[in-house]
Amino acid sequence: MSHVCPANQTKLMEPFISTAYDGPQLDDRLHAQRQYGDFNEPNDNAGSATDIGTPFFFSLSAVSIDDNSDVDWYEIEFTEPGELTIQVTATGETYLDGPQNNNGSCSAGSNYDSLRIHDLKVDLIAGNGSTVLASEDSTGIGEAEVLTYVVEDAGTYYARVRGGNTNSIQAYNFFATIEDLPFIPARIDISEAPDQLDPGVPTVVTVSIDPNDEVVSNRVLRFRADGGSFQSITLQPAGGQDFTASIPAVACGENPEYFFQITGDQSGTISLPSGGAAEPFSAIVGELAVEFNDNFNSDQGWSVTNSAGLTDGAWQRTVPSQGSDDRVADPGTDFDGSAFCYITDNGADNSDVDGGSTTLTSPNFDLSDSPEAILSYARWFDNNEDGSAANAFQETFVIEISNNGGSNWSNLETVGPTGPEVSGGWVQKAFRVADFVTPTANVRIRFIASDDIGTVVEAGVDAVRIEGLTCEDPTGGPCNAADLAAPEGILDLADIGAFTGGFTSQDSIADLNDDGIFDLADIGLFVAAFSAGCP
């Protein structure tokens, strides 16, 4: 081990002796484990996993991921079902660190943040050593990851801790507990909730209902259109835990909403989505037609403008190369696999945004006939350089939208300066344009990447797509005697209202048997026709 500076009595390997503390300090321990691994090594696979038994509570401190290829495995035994909780917490601090000068004097050192080297991840793996049962990677670099999993079968399982791409060391603490299985309430699941419905025809949906520790009753689909009252439609058994119902036919322009509901004998009402009537599923009526689609393999009219102070990192349409820098901050490939995308310069670390801002602006989109247009894109943003950047986690990536050709702009989203999406990686996003601006013939979007403080900022954009809604109600006249109101071919509350109003005012529309008398016979004919439905 070489000497380390400054000589401020914080590290054992400083070139001048200090009696202010006993034994190796944080920097010394990190250096030792960087060279030799922590005391559990080698535990890089299932065969060499650290055996932690059946933990009521198990704790390890001062362990580490010592480079960009290291993984740590821990073997856990379950003698009976239980709920496993694993917590992996990055540890470290920021301190001065640097080499001793050639003349023997001590350098001032520079800040080294040992807490934010790797964005740690944890996996639970089955006894075969390969099947991943659960993973947790929801927090950012330097934060704790907590994985909770209900293990229903006794046997051997493995916890695996992983790092990122940085060829350096990240210390962490590892905790594991096993508790008795909790009460498991009934559950409703759907593989894909329909978000697009064809006009004039019902849509069959299937849900899975697992009673778990409960007796379940009152299985229903709750549905409404255009903000009316929710109606209940019974879910019918379809074999096993599957149940089906039909979303009623809806017309163009309607806004259908629905959710599923069951009653558990212990939990009471359970809804999917959990918010029930307050947060139902929603759907559009019609088909999404592609208005604009750009994978950037050709120039479709985008423009780049830079602030006066920008010295490097302007947007360019290119095939990413990523240079040769070990500290990955910019994309190595595009998002959609077509080869090209827009990125802020192209190359190694010193090609990032510097000295100001660079703005990528779209051509005009004519969305005047697409009130329900959906804008989607993939973006990349890194203001951290995998823990190596000075002044990390301070810059943002701003995306804006305009409906007057760029005279005025509204914020679509601001990425950063902190959070899970500021350390690289392609992220796909989608927005309803009308939630931000009124769709017009002059809609534009722009992407602004900035660096005004001297850090590492890399950004990318790919797969920009706009889809508009087309819809045409069924034609061909009324489907039966109960089809009294538009849209034709659909039996709904509008038809009931038309019959009720006609019957009350003795309008001929409600005289279904044409006998000039408004009586129970007309009501019976309407009920029978309405119940029969449209073919």
Cα 97 to Cα 298: distance, rounded to the nearest angstrom:
48
Is pTM beyond 0.85? Reply is no
Whether the pLDDT of residue 315 is over 90: the answer is yes
Query: Among 189-203, 206-220, 282-296, 478-492, which is the least confidently predicted range?
Result: 478-492
Half-sphere exposure of 352 (CA within 13 A, CB side): 28
Strands 410-415 and 287-294: unpaired
Average pLDDT score, the chain? 90
For 78, the token pair is: 């379950």
Whether the pLDDT of residue 325 is over 60: the answer is no
From residue 174, alpha-carbon distances to 121, 122, 132, 157 in Å are 12, 10, 19, 16
Strands 458-470 and 287-294: antiparallel
Superfamily of domain 187-286, CATH level 4:
Immunoglobulins (2.60.40.10)
The CATH number that domain 290-470 falls under is 2.60.120.200
Q: Percentage of the chain surpassing pLDDT 70? A: 96
pLDDT digits (tens, 9 = 90+) for 458-504: 999 999 999 988 887 776 667 788 888 877 778 888 889 889 988 98
Closest CA to 54 of 77, 33, 87: 77
Task: Match domain 4-179 to its CATH number in 3.30.70.600, 2.60.120.380, 3.40.50.300, 3.30.160.110.
Answer: 2.60.120.380
pLDDT digits (tens, 9 = 90+) for 40-58: 999 999 999 999 988 788 9
